[in-house]
Amino acid sequence: MSAAPPLRIGVVGCGYQGTLLAQAVARTKTLRVTACVDPDLRVAAELADRSRHEHSFGSLDELLRHDLVDAVIVATPHQSLRDAAVTAILAGKHALVDKPAGVNEAEAADIERALVGTGVLCMPGYSLRFVEAHRRVHELIVAGAVGEVQAVTAGIGWQPLTDWRASPHTGGGALLYLGSHMVDAVLAVVRDEPQEVYADAAFSGDTGADETVGFQVRFREGAVAQCLATQATDEWFDYLNVYGREGHVGLSASYWLQYTLQVSSRTLGAYEQPTTICPRLTDDPIMLMLVPEVEEFGRAIAEDREPAVTMRDARRVLRVLDAALLSARTREPVQLESTSRRR
């Protein structure tokens, strides 16, 4: 039998992230970029040319008038993610939508509602989930390395953000741009509903965007997470520590995507003594996380199943981020309802 033809992909948003995702698609055998969309038609045409395809458009509506794509990758600034995703979904196109999939939970809920009855798939692009170190942490927690999770510490930081990433009006700021990855990682390991968020923050005097936010998340069954997101450091950092009565699993990186894991566990014999794990190191983010991400998107479509990251996951992240910003501004804890009660 002959192999199925590659899934035809339209890249919507041809800036930095869209270009990286197009390069990731080019390294797969099951997906192919067939069109590029950007308000700056010159930029769309340049990426289409680099992707070895001639079709470029200034808007998603223009692309959808033609039978050129089976799915889209939406890599626009945050304030445009929801509208592009909904437009594609209602046109019957599958969508990989870059994180955080919207600027608040209400926008993620709009995407969920658009999916109802369409038969298409939407996957939020939480690419750090596909980094080997993050996958190993999740696998160890599922295997029972720490027992029931009791406490989590997590942090993520980078240099000061620029252009649209620096403005709250376009979905910028430390929480949405960086903290969304962190909260997704925390929720993936705790696997319980967040119940209360209490935050403090420093805001930019120029843009009003959050620069540094520290917050606590209390979960329904009693676990507590202490979280920090900042755009006020001189280098990348990312850490996640998960503690339970049976052990500890943690990862840390003080250089872009170069992680070290620490594991100690009373339940997994291989880790009875504290163990350091150094996953394969690479400075190629495309192969490290974006190729596995787009391949999972393609497999989920081919197998007609939910992807590894769902819109419910995106809603839960944004619900926590919404609460953290509200708490930081009011200086009061914010109580949360579960996503199942808010449908």
pLDDT digits (tens, 9 = 90+) for 170-183: 999 999 999 999 99
Domain ranges of the chain: 7-125, 129-282+316-341
Q: State mean pLDDT over 313-325.
A: 98
Tell me which CATH code domain 129-282+316-341 carries: 3.30.360.10
Evaluate if residue 339 carries a pLDDT over 90. Answer: no
Q: In whole numbers, what is the pLDDT of the chain averaged over residues?
A: 94
- Residue 331 is given by DSSP the state T
pLDDT for position 25: 96
Structure tokens at 198: 């209490």
pLDDT for position 129: 95
pLDDT for position 343: 47
pLDDT for position 274: 95
Q: Cα 313 to chain center, whole Å?
A: 9
In which band, very low, low, confident or very high, does the pLDDT at 285 lie, cut at 50, 70 and 90?
confident
Evaluate if residue 2 carries a pLDDT over 60. Answer: no
Least confident of 15-24, 163-172, 271-280, 311-320: 271-280
Q: State mean pLDDT over 311-324.
A: 98
Entry pTM: 0.94
Domains 7-125 and 129-282+316-341 share a fold: no
pLDDT for position 114: 98
Q: SS3 breakdown of the chain: % helix, strand, coil, rounded to 5?
A: 40, 25, 35
Q: Cα 141 to chain center, whole Å?
A: 20
Q: State mean pLDDT over 267-284.
A: 87
In which band, very low, low, confident or very high, does the pLDDT at 250 lie, cut at 50, 70 and 90?
very high
CA–CA distances in Å: residue 188 to residues 80, 93, 99, 191, 240: 26, 27, 15, 6, 11
- The proportion of the chain whose per-residue pLDDT surpasses 70, expressed as a percent, equals 97
Evaluate if residue 190 carries a pLDDT over 60. Answer: yes
pLDDT for position 295: 97
User: CATH says 7-125 is which class?
Assistant: alpha beta
Evaluate if residue 337 carries a pLDDT over 90. Answer: no
CA–CA distances in Å: residue 215 to residues 81, 227, 321, 328, 331: 26, 5, 10, 8, 11
Evaluate if residue 341 carries a pLDDT over 80. Answer: no
